[in-house]
Amino acid sequence: MKEIKEKWIYLDNNATTPIDKRVLESMMPFLTHNFANANSTHQFGRHVSSVVRNVRKQIGELIYAEPDEIIFTSGATEAINLAIKGVAASYSHKGNHIVTASTEHAAVLDTCRYLESKGYEITYLSVMPNGLIDLNELKSSLRNDTILVSVMYVNNETGVIQPIKEISQLSHEVGALFMCDGTQAVGKLPVNVDELDIDLMSFSGHKFYAPKGIGGLFLRKRGNRVKLEALLHGGGHEGGSRSGTLNVPGIVALGKASSIAKEEMLQDAERIKALRDELESRLLKFPGAYVNGDVRNRLYNVTNICFPCQDANVIIGRLKNISVSNGSACTAAIIEPSHVLRAMGLTDEDAFASIRFSAGKFNTKEDITATIEAINTIIMPILI
C-alpha cells in the first residue's frame, strides 16, 4: 500500500470515526491475555463476564437505561434488523402496519421493504424541505393496527434532529412501539431513553470513537416490557435475544467510549460546532451555495452544502488528502442521487452537487482552513 505523506484531513466522521487512543488501550488486554469466553463457567470466564456486566452499566449510564436493557450486536445495522423484524414477528397478533420515514438509513428502509415482501404494510412518511417529518402526517398515518414507528434521531446525511419525544408520544397513543435509530446521536448528544420514552434504540461504536464491529440495541424491559423474537439462534446469549459468542474486546471498547462520551461530549460539542460553523460560513460564500436541512435542528458537527452547477464527485476526487462525502457511506458506491436529499425536494442535479462535511473531536482549525483553501482552488477556476 502506498504511503500517504501529506497530512490526512478527515471530515467524514458521520461515516466512521478514528478510535480514541484511550479506547484502544482499554480493549488491548482482551485481545491478548484476557481472552476467555465470557460465557465460560470457569474463573477465567467469570472474570471476563464481570467486565462485560460493567460495560452494560457504562452504556446504561450514557443513555439512562438499565444494564440488562442493553443487547450487544455487531453494529447498528444488525440492531435495526433485530428490532424491526423482531417486533414484526412478536406483535403480528396486534397488526402488520409499520410507519417509518422516507429519509431513514438504508438499514431501516431495506428491512421495511423486506417485510413488505412478507405481507406487512409500511407507511413511508414524507419530509418537509428542511428534512423534518410533519407530525400531522404522522398522526394521520397511525392506526389501531400499527405495531411500530421507526424514526431516526439524527439524519446521517444532513444532521437534522427529529422531534423524538413528540413522535414517541403519538406512537404510544395508538399502542404502537417506538423505535429510534440512534446511530448518529448516541455518544454525540445527551440521550435519555426515559425522557424521550423510547422503546428500542440502535447504536454503533464506530460512530463515537470505538472500533467497527460492535454496537447494540436498547430494549426496554421496565414497565410494558418489549417482546422481541430473536434473529440469531444458537445458545441463547443476550437473554435469548441474540445468540453468539460475545465480542469482548469490542464490548470493552464500547464501554470505554461511552464513559468518555458521558464526561466529554458537551465540551467536544462546543469546539466541534465552532469548527463546523467556520467551515460552513466560508463555503456559503460561493455563488448560490446553500445548506441542505434545518439549520436550527441539527447535529453540531454536520453541514451538507449544495454547490449548484458543480459535480460533488469531481470535487471529492480532487481533494487528494481530504475526506468528505456525498451521501451515506453505506450507499456511496451506488451512482444515484441521495434519497434523503431527493425526499427533501432537491433535483437530481442539486443532489449530485451536494457534499457532506462532518467534523470530529480530533479535527483542528488548521484542518478547516486547509479544506476551505482546497475547495476554493477547485471551484473558483470552474466559476471563472
Say if residue 281's pLDDT is above 90: yes
Say if residue 75's pLDDT is above 60: yes
Q: Find the domain containing 30 and state its range.
A: 21-259
Count CB atoms within 10 A of the CB of residue 365: 12
Amino acid at 259: S
pLDDT, tens digit, for every residue of 49-67? 999 999 999 999 999 999 9
Listed residues 227, 259, 291: the one ending a domain: 259
Which of the residues are catalytic? 330
Mean pLDDT across the chain: 93
The answer to whether residues 243 and 102 belong to one domain is: yes
Q: Give the whole-angstrom CA distance, residue 90 versus residue 96.
A: 11
Rounded-to-10 torsion of CA 48, 49, 52, 54: -100
The answer to whether residues 212 and 242 belong to one domain is: yes
The answer to whether residues 333 and 217 belong to one domain is: no
136 or 230: whose pLDDT is higher?
136
pLDDT, tens digit, for every residue of 297-347? 999 999 999 999 999 999 999 998 999 998 655 544 557 899 999 999 999
Residue 171 lies in a domain: yes
Residue 186 lies in a domain: yes
Say what the pTM is: 0.94
52: domain CATH number is 3.40.640.10
Counting the structural domains of the chain, the total is: 2
Residue 95 lies in a domain: yes
Residue 143 lies in a domain: yes
pLDDT, tens digit, for every residue of 112-123? 999 999 999 999
pLDDT bucket at 197, cuts 50 / 70 / 90:
very high
Output the pLDDT for position 358. Answer: 98
The answer to whether residues 236 and 327 belong to one domain is: no
pLDDT, tens digit, for every residue of 150-163? 999 999 999 999 99
